[in-house]
Amino acid sequence: MADVRIALFTPFNPGTGGGGVIFRSLIPYLKGAEVRWFYLAKSASHLAGTSRLGPLILGGPFAADGMASVRLFVLRSHAGIDEHVKTILDWAPDVAWVNAMNEGLLLGTKLRDRGVKRLHVSVHDDPAGLAHKSRRYRFFAPFIDRCTRALLKRADTVDVVCDAMRSYYSDRFGIESGVVFRYIHELGFPPLEDVDDPAVTIGHVGSAYSAPEVFALLGALRSISRTDGTRFRLINFGVSPAMTAAEREFPNIVENAGDVAEPEVVRRLQKCRFLYSMYSFNPRHRVFRETSQPTKMSTYLMAAKPILAHCPEGSSTQDMLSRFKLGLCVNSMESSEIVNGVRGMLNFRLDRDEVRRAAEYYCGKQNLERLGAFLGLSLP
């Protein structure tokens, strides 16, 4: 029996971002499928089975980006998208699998217009929720919301990253979906080691979504240092404007390590005292923080270290830490509350069996089984 031909589209390079991590964790285990990953990016990916369609349509100079946004989200017509749709259909896929983000919103709808046999959509962050966070795209958020609804309504199947997002689309759009998050094939922990470091090292991966929360944490660390004499170090893996600004303001605490391969990141996180995750307290960010699931949390589970979550009530990260005893949450921007949270983390003892249960719940085989069913595959 011939493999099912699946054309995946993302508006980003396959080797980058949390979405890339999720897709790369799943594709190798889709038995009976031939997956061709089409994408938009500045440069080509070195990964096998990928095809660059061209550069990004969004982004770039403000005026040109504004016109592109009008075409994509208001007029819902763009010659570049039509060309990309033709290229994908020329490959003759049995299934089109589209990431509902940026250019993917119009491209997925156009694939349906052109009669693709089956359309599956993956949503990792609510597109309008992301737009509300952005100064540049905030005006387009209502149009992006309509585009998202149109795409999800026309899809045969939809996956989302967490239960909160599934409920959100069910309540707002009447869309039924299933949760598909990152798949961790095997979770292995190294032996516990004593960390010989006079400073308390805190680890963070990827984007810090908002600078004020990061600065509030660092201010609390500085306060503890002055009171108790404890030295802190916050090491960030990846590129984050908020962390770059934080290193300038707190050079004795913050270290930006840049892009590092995940196995090495996990190894270095395992030497940290605890790990850090945050969401913005800005009211405009409510949908984003309540419906997203940071991919960094899967990396934190692999490192098996306790987590300090700094976020408002209702955030998805708090749900994870409430369901499993993985760390502590601070739901305030008050320095005294953050100080208490940090001091609590210094005494927190993580049960590795709890980490295994959390990893199975969020990153287990059910993700593959659900995605396989959506794509029409019979996985063993």
Give the pLDDT confidence of 110-154 residue by residue, as tens digits.
999 999 999 999 999 999 999 999 999 999 999 999 999 999 999
- Give the whole-number percent of the chain exceeding pLDDT 70: 97
Given a cut of 70, is residue 96 above it in pLDDT? yes
Which residues span the domain enclosing 17?
4-182+365-374
pLDDT of the residue at 2: 67
- Tens digits of residue pLDDT in 65-91: 999 999 999 999 999 999 999 999 999
Of 102, 184, 171, the C-alpha closest to 143 is: 102
301 is a domain residue:
yes
- Tens digits of residue pLDDT in 314-331: 999 999 999 999 999 999
Residues 286 and 172 in one domain: no
Residues 176 and 126 in one domain: yes
Residues in the chain, overall count:
380
Residues 48 and 153 in one domain: yes
Residues 212 and 354 in one domain: yes
122 is a domain residue:
yes
Residues 213 and 254 in one domain: yes
Residues 356 and 370 in one domain: no
Q: What is the mean pLDDT of residues 323-340?
A: 97
236 is a domain residue:
yes
72 is a domain residue:
yes
380 is a domain residue:
no
Residues 165 and 296 in one domain: no
pLDDT of the residue at 380: 63
Given a cut of 80, is residue 354 above it in pLDDT? yes
121 is a domain residue:
yes
Given a cut of 90, is residue 236 above it in pLDDT? yes
Residues 354 and 369 in one domain: no
pLDDT of the residue at 328: 97
Question: What CATH number should be reported for the domain holding residue 119?
Answer: 3.40.50.2000
Residues 161 and 133 in one domain: yes
Higher pLDDT, 1 or 56: 56
187 is a domain residue:
no
Given a cut of 90, is residue 198 above it in pLDDT? no
Residues 102 and 221 in one domain: no
194 is a domain residue:
no
Residues 122 and 246 in one domain: no
- The number of folded domains in the chain is 2
pLDDT of the residue at 186: 84
Residues 41 and 70 in one domain: yes
Average pLDDT, the chain: 94
Given a cut of 70, is residue 216 above it in pLDDT? yes
